């Protein structure tokens, strides 16, 4: 049989290769998809439940969030970031204006990201790989933290991944109509990613790298040309639009950069040298709880390094098997002067004179249609005309293969490395919110690595004893690593959930209510972008940048003008101007989410000067204030509602369960009587609860006492009967004198409260302390 007859035989049974790792749509595939869909829905529901815990209060609203919400509603981002402007405007119109609504919009984008990551993993490898990638990303503290405040990078990540997935869909179909649909939508989605944030332009580089690996040129793929057409169809009108509004575009871009980043970008070389800061911040990232938990981050990073090394080895093996194919073809040509007939090839194979190379690890998808390795490698060029018939007859003759030989692992590695390099070169700000554009690909690499390792371990069960033991060791090790990685992430998220249950943060609505009370109706507001959420739509709001001479903007105002300052970095220029001027102070709000907030009158006169209104908030602990505030008059009129001497406290404790601890007793400590309390060995556990008298619901009270710790460490605070802390517990260590305790707390809807005493966190031994008399004063409800 001649070379031509071999090719004819190959054409009679064509070998269909595809980048799609999912088999034909069968009943089994449908059942697997349903099960994977249920698991994905469960993961997404759990993620949404945990990430939205107190989302409107923890952390405090940022200047970036207020700026984005206001500009989206007023069309202030139409030129510089149109996709962000349109989508955020639609979300605020649908959900309402507010900090919680803005953050929920970011969470919805994140949920879409998880679905897209699963879809990419399913198409490139398997359903299990996609689900593992989603689970890894959910347990990543940086991804979790990035969604607690809204940033435009969230939408950029979502649409960049969506554009890449749609490009894969366009490549996987042979129907021209669907190819056009998915290609156009993919190009449009990638363009929208760049209109959210500049890091979104990385999506085009991903598709370019993928296309080069598969085709070897820029415009050789129909899908790639359609993809570019989809992006260009929107890009060209946009360029014409900003060309006619260039000055306004520059103003918007400068304002967005100043508010969102607050620092100049680095040069290309400086940016590359500073890239380590991004990964250092990821390693040291913590959940929004008082104590850090970076174990899940380090496990995720370790698994990522292992996955990248594995994909690198697989790529090297691909090239080595290409060399073996070349040597195989060269040997046949040397013996027969060309390609032998199939019968002659079979005879050589059965006689053992020809050693067949492996087909499975060749990853034929890379060069079957003219991929990069085929175009650039002299080895593959030499066997170009013989590749298909040789591959076909190798399969017919039963050459060694693998069931997953169509999976494009090399493409996944190249796209991941492209993302790493592009972000290192072009993203100058190293913000945590931009890291998910990389960790999404890291999670996909980890999913492929884990599934491949477990499949290999299972395949060893029917082989020799040493290989069975080796497979068992690899499988157990991989399961242990996956369990540790996912378990650590889940534990950190659960700790955050528990913390939100025992912490009652101050809602921004309290501060907004007071600001609206002290600001005259219809006044123009001059403040940083932080306080845009405090005032309704339609209020004129001026947010000067740096030391911009804003008084010129309000010189002709007929309405009153006020200026609001706080202790944040964004308000520094306003504080400097307030110190240089003699503007009258209208109100002072102490202990707020942003430190001391002051309101000044810039224009408008009063018939007679008056003292500024003063409000006192609960104060900040661990960066967050607790709910409740009161006025100067309420503080002066606070009345004593309960007083208990140590003897009365001892009587109250006699009927309480002590859980094995020594019963408290009154002792003389120096010149005064005090209640001596000895706890048992515990860890941040409440060991004694002294019930307070029935109090009014939703009213602020002040508890005062004095404590001296003689051994170990203790915490003291006020809780309700369900165990919810009504204030941040005060931590105490050993001291020679009594430490005064002054606790503010707001009762719940039932008015029940109790004084709780326990061991300090990580306290290794029992604690002993003396407790003086306890006073409770009523300050009153919020005015």
Token pair of 656 as six digits: 């309480």
pLDDT attached to residue 660 = 53
Q: What is the mean pLDDT of residues 378-389?
A: 43
- Share of residues in the chain with pLDDT > 70 (%): 77
pLDDT attached to residue 554 = 62
**Domain check: are 747 and 672 in the same one?**
yes
**Domain check: are 84 and 222 in the same one?**
yes
**Domain check: are 704 and 659 in the same one?**
yes
Please state, in angstroms and rounded to a whole number, the distance separating the CA atoms of residues 182 and 698: 56
CATH number of the domain encompassing residue 667: 2.60.120.260
Does any domain span residue 341? yes
Q: Residue 608 is part of which domain span?
A: 508-635
What are the CB-based long-range contacts (under 8 Å, 24+) for 383-390?
A: 383/325, 383/326, 383/329, 386/3, 386/329, 386/339, 387/325, 388/7, 388/10, 388/15, 389/3, 389/6, 389/7, 389/9, 389/10, 389/339, 390/325, 390/328, 390/329, 390/339
Q: What is the mean pLDDT of residues 730-746?
A: 88
Contact 365, 317 (CB under 8 A): no
Secondary structure in 3-state letters for 332-388: HHHHHCCCCCHHHHHHHHHHCCCCCCCCHHHCHHHCCCCCHHHHHCHHHHHCHHHHH
Query: In the structure, what pLDDT confidence band is assigned to residue 329 with cuts at 50, 70 and 90?
Result: low
Q: Is the pLDDT of residue 548 over 70?
A: no
pLDDT attached to residue 566 = 92
Domain end among 466, 499, 532 = 499
- Plot region of 781 (φ>0 → left; ψ -120 to 50 → alpha; else → beta): beta
Q: Is the pLDDT of residue 729 over 60?
A: yes
State pLDDT tens for residues 527-542.
Answer: 988 898 899 888 888 8
**Domain check: are 153 and 82 in the same one?**
yes
Does any domain span residue 19? no
Q: Is the pLDDT of residue 339 over 70?
A: no
Query: In the structure, what pLDDT confidence band is assigned to residue 91 with cuts at 50, 70 and 90?
Result: very high
Mean pLDDT computed over every residue of the chain: 80
Report the SS3 class of residue 703: strand
**Domain check: are 441 and 514 in the same one?**
no
**Domain check: are 488 and 615 in the same one?**
no
Please report the beta strands in 73-223, taking only residues with DSSP state E, as ranges in sequence order: none
Does any domain span residue 391? yes
pLDDT attached to residue 326 = 64
Please state, in angstroms and rounded to a whole number, the distance separating the CA atoms of residues 706 and 770: 8
Domain end among 454, 480, 499 = 499
pLDDT attached to residue 286 = 55
**Domain check: are 601 and 693 in the same one?**
no
**How many separate domains does the chain show?**
4
Q: What is the mean pLDDT of residues 21-35?
A: 70
Q: Is the pLDDT of residue 578 over 70?
A: yes
**Domain check: are 644 and 769 in the same one?**
yes
Q: Is the pLDDT of residue 181 over 90?
A: yes
Helices 387-396 and 3-12: crossing angle, nearest 10°? 70
Does any domain span residue 22? no
Alpha carbon distances (Å) from 47 to 144, 453, 501, 557: 9, 27, 17, 49
pLDDT attached to residue 276 = 83
pLDDT attached to residue 659 = 52
Please state, in angstroms and rounded to a whole number, the distance separating the CA atoms of residues 752 and 636: 25
State pLDDT tens for residues 118-170.
Answer: 999 998 888 889 999 999 999 888 898 888 889 999 999 999 999 999 998 98
Q: What is the mean pLDDT of residues 738-754?
A: 88
Better-predicted residue by pLDDT, 751 or 319: 751
Query: In the structure, what pLDDT confidence band is assigned to residue 184 with cuts at 50, 70 and 90?
Result: very high
Does any domain span residue 538? yes
pLDDT attached to residue 464 = 79
pLDDT attached to residue 167 = 92
**Domain check: are 303 and 324 in the same one?**
no
**Domain check: are 161 and 294 in the same one?**
yes
**Domain check: are 123 and 252 in the same one?**
yes
Q: Is the pLDDT of residue 304 over 90?
A: yes
State pLDDT tens for residues 425-444.
Answer: 888 888 888 899 999 999 99
Please state, in angstroms and rounded to a whole number, the distance separating the CA atoms of residues 85 and 87: 6
Please enumerate in sequence order all residues whose Cβ is within 8 A of that of 557, keeping only pairs 6 or more positions apart, or say none.
524, 603
313 burial (CB, 10 Å; 0-12 / 13-18 / 19+) is exposed
Q: Is the pLDDT of residue 371 over 50?
A: no
pLDDT attached to residue 443 = 95
Does any domain span residue 17? no
Q: What is the mean pLDDT of residues 734-744?
A: 89
Better-predicted residue by pLDDT, 184 or 763: 184
State pLDDT tens for residues 629-672.
Answer: 888 888 888 889 999 998 888 888 777 665 556 778 888 888 88
pLDDT attached to residue 764 = 67
Q: What is the pTM of this model?
A: 0.82
pLDDT attached to residue 117 = 96
- Share of residues in the chain with pLDDT > 90 (%): 27
Domain end among 610, 635, 660 = 635
Token pair of 661 as six digits: 């601890």
Contact 199, 429 (CB under 8 A): no
Please enumerate in sequence order all residues whose Cβ is within 8 A of that of 330, keeping only pairs 6 or more positions apart, or say none.
382
Report the SS3 class of residue 493: helix
Q: What is the mean pLDDT of residues 311-322?
A: 78
Q: What is the mean pLDDT of residues 188-201?
A: 94
Does any domain span residue 405? yes
pLDDT attached to residue 740 = 92
Q: What is the mean pLDDT of residues 217-243?
A: 86
Does any domain span residue 483? yes
Better-predicted residue by pLDDT, 250 or 662: 250
**Domain check: are 677 and 658 in the same one?**
yes
Q: Is the pLDDT of residue 415 over 60?
A: yes
Q: The tokens 């809780």 sit on which residue?
A: 719
pLDDT attached to residue 688 = 76
């Amino acid at each position: 049989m001649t070379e031509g007859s071999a090719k004819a035989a190959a054409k009679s049974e064509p070998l269909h290769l595809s980048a799609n790792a999912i088999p034909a749509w069968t009943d089994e595939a449908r059942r697997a998809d349903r099960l994977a869909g249920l698991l994905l829905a469960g993961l997404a529901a759990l993620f949404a439940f945990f990430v939205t815990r107190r989302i409107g209060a923890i952390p405090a609203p940022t200047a970036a969030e207020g700026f984005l919400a206001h500009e989206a509603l007023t069309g202030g981002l139409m030129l510089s970031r149109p996709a962000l402007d349109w989508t955020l405007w639609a979300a605020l119109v649908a959900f309402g204006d507010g900090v919680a609504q803005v953050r929920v919009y970011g969470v919805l984008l994140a949920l879409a990201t998880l679905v897209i990551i699963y879809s990419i993993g399913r198409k490139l490898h398997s359903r299990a790989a996609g689900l593992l990638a989603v689970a890894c990303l959910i347990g990543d503290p940086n991804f979790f933290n990035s969604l607690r405040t809204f940033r435009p990078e969230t939408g950029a990540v979502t649409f960049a991944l969506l554009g890449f997935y749609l490009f894969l869909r366009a490549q996987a179909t042979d129907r021209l109509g669907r190819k056009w649909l998915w290609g156009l939508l993919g190009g449009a989605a990638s363009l929208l990613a760049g209109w959210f944030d500049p890091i979104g332009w990385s999506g085009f580089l991903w598709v370019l790298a993928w296309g080069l690996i598969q085709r070897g040129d820029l415009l050789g793929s129909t899908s790639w040309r359609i993809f570019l057409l989809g992006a260009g169809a929107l890009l060209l009108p946009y360029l014409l639009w900003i060309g006619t509004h260039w000055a306004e575009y520059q103003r918007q871009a400068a304002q967005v950069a100043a508010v969102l980043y607050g620092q100049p970008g680095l040069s290309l070389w400086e940016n590359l040298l500073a890239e380590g800061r991004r990964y250092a911040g990821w390693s040291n990232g913590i959940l929004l709880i008082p104590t850090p938990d970076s174990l899940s981050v380090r496990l995720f990073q370790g698994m990522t390094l292992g996955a990248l090394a594995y994909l690198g080895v697989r790529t090297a093996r691909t090239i080595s098997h290409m060399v073996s194919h070349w040597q195989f073809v060269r040997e046949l040509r040397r013996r027969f002067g060309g390609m032998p007939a199939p019968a002659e090839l079979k005879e050589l194979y059965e006689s053992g004179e020809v050693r067949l190379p492996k087909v499975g690890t060749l990853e034929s998808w890379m060069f079957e249609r003219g991929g990069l390795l085929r175009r650039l490698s002299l080895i593959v060029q030499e066997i170009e005309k013989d590749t298909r018939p040789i591959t076909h007859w190798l399969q017919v003759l039963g050459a060694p293969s693998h069931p997953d030989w169509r999976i494009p692992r090399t493409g996944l590695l190249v796209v991941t490395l492209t993302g790493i390099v592009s972000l290192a070169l072009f993203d100058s700000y190293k913000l945590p919110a931009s890291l998910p554009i990389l960790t999404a690909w890291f999670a996909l690499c980890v999913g492929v690595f884990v599934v491949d390792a477990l499949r290999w371990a299972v395949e060893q069960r029917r082989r020799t004893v040493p290989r069975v033991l080796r497979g068992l060791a690899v499988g157990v090790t991989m399961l242990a690593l996956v369990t540790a990685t996912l378990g650590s992430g889940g534990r950190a998220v659960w700790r955050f959930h528990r913390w939100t249950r025992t912490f009652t943060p101050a809602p921004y609505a309290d501060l907004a209510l007071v600001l609206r009370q002290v600001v005259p109706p219809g006044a123009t507001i001059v403040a940083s972008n932080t306080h845009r959420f405090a005032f309704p739509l339609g209020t004129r709001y001026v947010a000067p940048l740096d030391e911009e001479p804003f008084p010129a903007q309000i010189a002709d105002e007929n309405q009153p003008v006020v200026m609001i300052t706080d202790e944040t970095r964004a308000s520094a220029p306003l504080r400097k101007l307030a110190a240089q001027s003699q503007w009258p102070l209208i109100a002072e709000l102490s202990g707020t989410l942003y430190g001391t907030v002051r309101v000044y009158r810039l224009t408008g006169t009063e018939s007679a000067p008056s003292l500024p209104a003063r409000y006192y908030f609960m104060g900040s602990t661990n960066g967050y204030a607790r709910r409740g505030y009161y006025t100067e008059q309420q503080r002066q009129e606070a009345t004593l509602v309960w007083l208990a001497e140590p003897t009365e406290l001892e009587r109250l404790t006699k009927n309480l369960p002590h859980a094995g601890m020594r019963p408290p007793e009154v002792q003389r400590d120096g010149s005064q009587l005090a209640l001596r309390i000895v706890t048992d060995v515990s860890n941040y556990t409440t060991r004694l609860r002294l019930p307070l008298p029935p109090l009014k619901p939703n009213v602020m009270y002040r508890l005062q006492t004095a404590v001296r710790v003689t051994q170990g460490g203790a915490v003291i605070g006020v809780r309700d009967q369900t165990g919810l802390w009504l204030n941040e517990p005060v931590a105490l260590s050993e001291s020679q004198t009594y430490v005064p305790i002054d606790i503010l707390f707001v009762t719940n809807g039932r008015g029940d409260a109790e004084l709780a005493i326990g061991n300090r966190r990580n306290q290794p031994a029992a604690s002993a302390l003396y407790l003086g008399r306890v006073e409770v004063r009523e300050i009153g409800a919020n005015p």
